[in-house]
Structure formats: structure tokens, C-alpha cells
Structure 1
Amino acid sequence: MKQNLKYYPKARTHTFHFDHVHIQWNQQVPLHQQETWELSYIITGSGARIIGDVVENFSKGEVILIPPNIPHCWSFDESVHDREGKIENITIVFENDFLESCKNLFPELFNPISELQNNENAVSFKDELLEKLQILMTSMIHQNSIERVSSFIKLLELISYCKDMQVVGRPVIENKKEKKMQEIYLFILSNFQRNITLEEISKSVGMQKSSFCVFFKKMTGKSFFTYLTEFRIESSCQMLLKTKLSVGEICIASGFSDIPYYNRVFKRIKSVTPTGFRKRGFVVEE
């Protein structure tokens, strides 16, 4: 399976590119990378994402900053959407040249921007800062291009001075093993909701079954099916918390075919039943 990397062109007519989308869950951009920075806010939707060498589940509300040249994509769950059946997010793309210009124009921003540029990892924000970023990015939807420049400078100030960030992705080391793992992760992300055989996954990445099993265990410390099961359980957790689907529906939607087996595996991994997990959390209103 070849990686379908999409490269975004640099902005030409604007200081930065502001993209607000309200679309069907499966219309998102596939795995891609670009030479620019990206700030992404998930307003509605949940699922799993790849950022560099990290594969994780995500839910609405997160704001992620991705440095240049880190491959990434979001895969949204079909069952998590708004009343129109759509997901919604905001993406702001800006060039490193713009950061350099800001350092020259605003001496107050020189040190924090320089520190930001030294960070090679994708990061997420939390608590009070996350709320400020959400509010500011949402307000930009209804602003004109000049107003957005002002808001973006404020965004830049907020993220530049942030010291408490969580790493959610790292650059992919340019070697054959890491590239092969990214192919595997992308296949899992795209197919975990259905039955996957060893023959299929190994063939998709051009390996023999035995070689694939040894390779995956060496790279992750887990067997392929152990990893796949844990990934499916984490995905089902998001659906339990964010949807009103029944446990049986979530079982099927997360790639399991047998409800009793799903319940047993869930309890073994999470030390609580799916129903108990849902009761401890919350269910969004329709």
C-alpha cells in the first residue's frame, strides 16, 4: 500500500490560510504533509488520527499545532456528528516566513516565536489556554480577512507563550522501518471497523505474514492483533462517551462482531464494562 501524501501549497494571496469546513465525516483530507505550520481545532466529531509517528484517538474540542513536514490525518467516526450528520473543524495554515516576519516586526514576539520554532513536535493545548484558543478561532469564522490577521496575531501570542503542552506527534524518521510502520498505521486507521486478516495487512505493505508479525512485534512490543484490539477498544470508548448508540451498535462500529466477546475484552482492558464506562462519563445530547 502506498502512502497517499498530499502536499499543501504555500499561501500566495494571504498572510495565512483559514479553512472552516462543515462536511460529511468521510470528506476529510487524507494523509498529507506540507512545509507550513498548521493549527487545527475539532469543533464536532471524533475518531482516530495519525500525526507523525503517533496514532491516537481524538474527540471534539482539541486544538493541535503541527510543525512543518509532519505527515498527519484525521479519520472521523461515521456515528459521531451534529444534527445535520456532519463534522466541523477549523484549520489555519501559515508559513515559517510569516513567523520570521513577526519576529522582525514585533520585538515582543521575538523570543516566544523563536522558542516555538525550536519545537519539532506536534502539541495539543488544555485548560484555560485551550478555551481561549477555541473562542478566538471560532470568532474568526465571521471575520473578514483583515480582522482575521488581528485575531491570528493574538493566537500566535497565546501559543508562543504556552509552556504546558502535550506532545501528540513527532517527526517521522526517514528510514524504511518507520515508513513501513506508517503504512501499517494508515491501513489500521482506514480499516479497523471491519475484519482484518494477517494475509490482508501483510500483503498491503508488501510483506510475508511471518515477516510482518516479527516486524510489528519488534517495532511496537505487541502482536498485531493485540494492538488492533486495543485500538478498537479505545475507539469504542469515544463512541460510548460521545454518542447515544447502543453498546451493540458500538461493538459492530468499532470492529467487533460478537457482543459478549466485546464486553469481555473491554472489561479486561478497562477494568469496567462498556455500560459502566459510559455511566462514568457522559453522553452528548442530540
Structure 2
Amino acid sequence: MKKPKYYPSKSSETFSFDHVHTEFDKQVPLHQQETWELAYIITGSGIRTIGDVVENFSEGEIILIPPDIPHCWSFDKNIHDKEGKIENICIFFKSKFLNDLKNFYPEFGNSLLKIEENTNALSFYGKAQKKLQELLKSMSSQNAIERLSSLLLILNQISSSESANIVGYIKERKNEDKLHEVYMFVLNQSHRAITLDEVAQIAGMPKSTFCLFFKKMTGKSFVTYLIEFRIESSCQMLIKTKLSVSEICVETGFNDIPYFNRIFKKIKKITPTEYRKTHTTRLEYLS
């Protein structure tokens, strides 16, 4: 499948800032661009695709994506703010911008070289994540010159941080598009019963072939993946909605409350009610 390209900035700009507050399904689909991208998910969760890596994501994450890596965020319709919307901030900058900084300001030389040499998408955590969140949020109320100053601080933070995990890369793998289609199907249909037969049909394979394919590609069975995905979705809903445990059970496709409670405790080591109480208290403390 040919990946569409996406160009977020005008040719005369060295960087651009984009603050999006919109419905969950209004995001740009799978795309790639010739610029670097730094993305901050403020509100929302779901599944993200970056190159050959497809993973769950939640609010707060900050991802740096090198040029020409296909990527997209597919948001869960149940996780949103009080207006029913998701929110994110993205900065796009050109490799030429990094190169010009090195040429005009030698002090940036070694730092920017670390960024330029990176070919993988990175997710930041710990103090680096918190500092980047603060800098990116502050840019929403800044003018162009102030944003440039903040971007320089952001680049310095990225280059000096050791707190980052690889979350995306490009490595040619057979049937990657089929795996992505399966993930998107689960994201959109996990609220109802899903059979192996229909998922195998989505992948265009016999059921037995699909089971082997999925296990080889992900390291786990499809049934295990589906259960884990539903549990993670229920965790987000326990924290961010006022739905009852029984309502969340149905919304996430379990439909059997005793089974849901049993599986939840097996995976999370506590009950759904205890999970909601613990994490809600923690969020109130942090806010």
C-alpha cells in the first residue's frame, strides 16, 4: 500500500506549530512528511502506528518522529475531554533548520548532531517528558519569536535526554499492512463480540494461517491481544469517565461482569473498582 504524504508547513517556513482540539476521528490518517515531527498527546488514547510498530498510547506521551516514517494516531471514541474532543500539539521542523542552527551557532553542533543521527521514533519519559510538556504547552500563548526560543530549548532538552524509548522504525516486513488493518479493526470493533473467522477474513487468510501469522508478528495470540487491549481500554474509561464498572464491561466488549472482574484482576492485580479509586486519587493529587 502506497503511503500518502503529508506536508504540514509552507516551503518558506523552517518550523511550524499546530495545536489541535477536535473530534476523535478528525485526525490525519496514515501519512509521512519530509519534516521532523514532535507530537504531544494532551487528551485521548488509542492505537498509534509509527513505521512498523503498532502500540497502544495514552495521554501525556511525547513522540519525536524523524522524516519519512509513516505514522498516525487512531483515537478511542470513548476517551475525550468534557467537550467530547481530543487534543494534541505538534511541532514540525526541517532538517535544514537543524543544519542552519549548526552553521550559525557552533554551540548547537554536538547537540543537534545527536538528533540528526537518530533514525527511530522516540518516546520521552520522566523529567524529560515533564519538561517537554511544559515547554510545548507554553508555546500555545506565544508569538513567533517566543516560539522559536522555546523550540531551541526543546531541541536542547531532546538532545541531552537519556530518558527515551524507541517506539517506531522502518524495517521492511511482509504483511505489515495486514497487521495494521487488524489493529484498526480491533480499535473500531472491540466493543462487540469479535470472532477469529472475521478477523482472519480482514487479513485475507484462513483462520489457522492467521493465528500463526499474528503470533509470529506480535509474539502473542490474537485472543490474548484482544483481551489485553480491552483491559487497557477499560482502564482508561475507569479513570476518565463516570461510567459504572458494569457499563464499562459492556463498552469494552466483555458482556460478562464476573469474567471481566476476574480477567481484570488477573492482569492488573487489583479489581476495577480498586483501580478506579487508586488512579482517580492519584490524578486529583497531581492536579
TM-score by length of 1: 0.89
Shift in Å, 1:253: 2.4
Any gaps of 5 or more consecutive residues in structure 2?
A: none
Is the 8 Å Cα contact of residues 37 and 67 (structure 1) preserved in structure 2?
A: yes
Q: Deviations over 1:133-184 (max 9, x none)?
A: 12221121122223322221221111111122122x2213223233433333
Query: Gaps spanning 5+ residues in structure 1: where?
Result: none
1:151-162 to 2 correspondences below 5 Å? 151-162=150-161
Q: Which residue of 1 aligns with 2:245?
A: 247
In 1, distance between residues paired with 2:75 and 2:25?
7
Q: 1:46 to 1:181 in 2, by over 3 A?
A: closer
Matched letter for residue 79 of structure 1 = N
RMSD: 2.2
Q: Call closer, same or farther: CA 1:142–1:202 in 2, change over 3 Å.
A: same
Is residue 85 of structure 1 aligned with residue 84 of structure 2? Answer: yes
SS at match of 1:222: coil
1:172/1:178 contact within 8 Å kept: no
Residue 207 of structure 1 corresponds to which residue in structure 2? 205
The one-letter code sitting in structure 1 at the alignment partner of 2:156 is E
Contact 1:46 1:76 in 2 (8 A): yes
Q: TM-score, normalised by structure 2?
A: 0.89
Structure 2 match to 1:107: 106
Q: Give the paired residue count.
A: 282
- From 228, 231, 253, the equivalent of 2:229 is 231
Does the 8 A contact of 2:128 with 2:163 survive in 1?
A: no
Q: CA deviation at 1:132?
A: 2.1
Q: Which amino acid aligns with 2:47?
A: A
- 2:7 equivalent in structure 1: 9
Q: 1:125 to 1:258 in 2, by over 3 A?
A: same
Matches within 5 A, 1:32-47: 32-47=31-46
Q: CA, structure 1 residues 164+103, in 2 after alignment: closer, same or farther (shift >3 Å)?
A: same
Structure with bigger RCO (C-alpha 8 Å, 6+ apart): 1
Whole-Å separation in 2 of the counterparts to 1:217 and 1:145:
49
Instruction: Return 133-142 or 122-131, whichever deviates more.
Output: 122-131
- What's the % identity of the aligned pairs? 57
Letter in 1 for 2:221: S
* Structure 2 residue identity aligned to 1:278: R
Runs (4+) of structure 1 exceeding 6 A deviation are none
